[in-house]
Amino acid sequence: MAILTFYDKFYFNKMIKYSFFLHLCAFSFAQNIYQGEIGFNYNGTVSGSFTSISGDSLVTGLTINQVINDTAQVIMASITQQDQNEFDLFLAVLRDTTFPVQPRIWDIPGEGDESNPLSLESIIVFMPQLDSSFVEDVFEFFDDTSGNQEPDELFNDIFSSLSNNLYIGLEGNLGIETATDSVLVGTFNTTMIKPAFYFPPHTISISDGSFTLENVDAPILNTYDTPTVAYPNIYLFPAYPNPFNAKTKIKLNIKNPIENALVKIYNSNGQKINNLYSGSLVSGLNNFYWEPKNKASGVYFFVIETPFSIQSQKLLYLK
């Protein structure tokens, strides 16, 4: 097992950069993408409960089983809101030698060269009690990686103050009990330490971590000799920006005109808080804008109701 010196700030920053580069590069390689639930209780310097859906219309979480350069990777990332302006973020990167990944148990952090974070078998990161401004910075980076700023410079900016918010897996294990094309199921436990120097050290423990994830079957392009699938009446594009802190735009593509449509906004408790639109929709693109103004930060849902269907999309508003 690699013995890691987590008080080495430069090594720590390097490991975080590699972890998120893996997350961002995942879409370019052979992979299976899963969505589902990641949950655990944590106790120690800070205590609480984490339960979050990993992967949905809002990119607050993603689980990828992929292969890069003959090395299999499982990347799990998820975020949950704890308070009006407080969020918890969980990230796990697991390495193996076979793709797709098979049931097995990983030690935390496992075998590897501590000078090369990519060689470690498992990297577990937990960031509790993040404020909304940091969460917004992270998602803005994920949404726009085409700017002129160099990745190293960007990561240095984002993670320059992370040592006071972040815990790294120091020991423990993570096991995948079921691994198929359709599902990943497993459990984990770990003792985590904050890399910033404190005496006594700031630690938390997780003894009941679990995840149940189902494959997302969403091909980008299919070609058929003859049409076999009817186009939906409504295609709901991802909101942009999302997360957002002022105004977001939601686009709909309508194949045929619809006479009666209702567009509403609901909060996470299922309460309707806004009627955005009531009336007909033309064929082609229809645009809607939502500006919460005096609403609290948090998760909201954009819902469109027609005589034929009801569709929804999760929105994350960060003041």
Q: Which residues contact 94 (CB under 8 A, 6 or more apart)?
A: 73, 74, 75, 76, 101, 106, 121, 122, 174
CA–CA gap between residue 300 and residue 316 (Å, rounded): 6
Q: By CB neighbour count within 10 A (0-12 exposed, 13-18 middle, 19+ buried), where does 45 fall?
A: middle
Biggest alpha carbon–alpha carbon distance for the chain: 68
Please state, in angstroms and as integers, the Cα–Cα distance from residue 55 to each residue in 66, 109, 260, following that order: 16, 25, 31
pLDDT at 84: 67
Q: Which residues contact 233 (CB under 8 A, 6 or more apart)?
A: 254, 255, 256, 258, 306, 308, 309
Per-residue tokens: 230: 């009817």
pTM for the predicted model, two decimal places: 0.56
Q: By CB neighbour count within 10 A (0-12 exposed, 13-18 middle, 19+ buried), where does 7 fall?
A: middle
pLDDT tens digit at each of 319 positions of the chain: 333 333 344 444 444 444 443 343 333 344 566 777 788 999 999 998 887 754 433 334 445 555 445 566 777 877 777 776 778 888 888 877 666 677 889 998 887 766 665 567 888 889 888 776 666 655 554 444 434 444 444 445 445 556 567 888 889 999 988 877 777 888 999 999 887 767 788 899 999 998 887 775 433 333 334 343 443 467 788 888 888 888 999 988 888 888 888 999 998 777 889 999 999 988 888 999 999 988 888 888 898 888 777 788 888 888 7
pLDDT at 236: 81
Please tell me the CATH code under which domain 234-317 is placed.
Answer: 2.60.40.1930
Amino acid identity of 174? L
**Which of these, 254, 319, 299, 318, lies nearest to 281 by C-alpha position?**
254
Domain with CATH 2.60.40.1930 in the chain: 234-317
Helix or strand holding residue 15 (H, E): helix 9-25
* Residue labelled with tokens 């960031």: 127
pLDDT at 27: 34
CA–CA gap between residue 106 and residue 180 (Å, rounded): 18
Q: Is the Cβ–Cβ distance between 66 and 26 less than 8 Å? A: yes
pLDDT at 9: 42
Q: Is the Cβ–Cβ distance between 290 and 276 less than 8 Å? A: yes
Give pairs for 138-142: CB < 8 Å, separation 24+: 138/89, 139/59, 139/242, 139/243, 139/316, 140/241, 142/24, 142/59
